[in-house]
Structure 1
Amino acid sequence: MTNMSRSPFTYEIEQTEPPRKFSMPYFISFKGDGDSKKHLKHYRNTMVIYQNNDALMCKIFATTLQSEAQDWFHTLLPRSIRNFDDLSLIFTKEYSSYYLIKKKFDHLFNVKKNPKELLRDYVKRIKAEKAKIVGCNNSIASATF
């Protein structure tokens, strides 16, 4: 366990206790191989009623990290995090290469059926790619099919 002198949080954050009756919400863990913006958005939405409590936002966010992301967190300089904005910024910078690139409907024109692929498998792939496109309706997907 990391002692407080090695914590990336300021003393003020470390010393802050959670509010009475605080109950830990459920979070999707971030392991370092996903979209950091999506994780941050999920976290902020889940913690919306505590958004004005910077110390709590920082301390609880650290518990949502696992594996490589947890290892990264423990490499942060001691006392370098003063607030949740600082933490959010360095987190998104560290994992910016994992952002999901939003695709446009014309992406579906590039999804070709492989000669030995079953039609049902091809349709599954088309549907999976369609799900990655914001605002793609069925008529557009049908036209590209």
Structure 2
Amino acid sequence: MYNGRTDLMEHISHFNQRMSIHSKNETLMCKVFPSSLGPVAMRWFDGLSASSIGSFKELTRAFVSRFITCSRVPRPVDSLLSMSMREDETLKTYLDRYWEIFNEIDGDFDDMVIRTFKVNLPTEHDLRKSLTKKPIKSVRKLMDHINEYKRVEED
């Protein structure tokens, strides 16, 4: 349900995914689209002039024009550079903050993400020492290494 505050391109993408088997049926796509709208967006839709929309592409173009300020702007990769593990912060809390920002970055920056994560840990942190001894080449392997470290630490 689009509420007028979330990313409109994500909403359109999710709607298209749900309707993928009907994507060739423009009329149906246009008729079902309003059911995905919340009150604010529905008021906009109800305010459209009769016969002003001729295709689903036109409808999504009008929707994007109206709610353009709700587009999510990806964070730049250097957002991770300003992060560091705070004194007395748990690894879990730091990981939560780090991955939240990581998930808002578009692009493939595995090397930088891995180096930034390691460098932003305190110098004396065992996980940083472990990552220095055994270099990691992918974010997936970094996550696996962190999970292994957490399991060992909890035991």
> TM-score surpassing 0.5?
yes
> Is the Cα contact below 8 Å between 2:3 and 2:41 reproduced in 1?
yes
| Aligned match of 1:79 | 51
Question: Unpaired segments of 5 or more residues in structure 2?
Answer: 121-155
Q: Aligned residue for 1:104?
A: 76
Task: Give the aligned residue type for 1:83.
Answer: S
| Equivalent in 48, 67, 70 of residue 95 of structure 1 | 67
Number of residue pairs the alignment of both structures matches:
116
Q: Corresponding residue for 2:37? A: 65
- d(CA) in 1 for partners of 2:74, 2:82: 15
Cα pair distance change 1:73/1:61, threshold 3 Å: same
* CA contact 2:81–2:116 (8 Å) conserved in 1: no
Q: Percent identity?
A: 23
Distance 1:53 1:97 in 2: 29
Moved over 6 A (4+): none
The 3 A distance-change label for structure 1 pair 48 and 106 is same
> 1:5 corresponds to which residue?
none
2:108 matches 1:142: no
> Which protein shows a greater Rg?
2
The answer to whether residue 66 in structure 2 is matched with residue 130 in structure 1 is no
Question: Contact 1:36 / 1:96 at 8 angstroms: preserved in 2?
Answer: yes
User: Retained in 2: the 8 A contact 1:31–1:70?
Assistant: no
The residue that corresponds to 1:46 in the other structure is: 18
Report the RMSD for the aligned CA atoms in angstroms.
Answer: 2.2
Q: Supply the distance in 2 between the matched residues of 1:41 and 1:66 (Cα, whole angstroms).
A: 16
Contact 1:58–1:84 (Cα < 8 Å) also in 2: yes
Give the structure-1-normalised TM-score: 0.68
Note the residue ranges of structure 1 that are not aligned, 5 or more in a row: 1-28
- 1:34 deviates by 0.9
Say if 1:53 and 1:129 are closer, same or farther in 2 by CA, change over 3 A.
same
Deviations 1:57-95 (A, max 9, x none): 001011100121111111112221111111010001111
Q: Distance in 1 between matches of 2:65 and 2:10?
A: 13
Partner Cα distance (1:114, 1:74) in 2: 50
Shift of the 128–59 alpha-carbon distance from structure 1 to 2, 3 Å rule, reads: same
Q: Deviations over 1:19-56 (max 9, x none)?
A: xxxxxxxxxx1111111111111111221121111110
Where relative contact order (Cα < 8 A, 6+ residues apart) is larger, the structure is 1
| Whole-Å separation in 2 of the counterparts to 1:131 and 1:64 | 25
Relative to structure 2, which stretch is displaced further, 73-82 or 49-58? Answer: 73-82
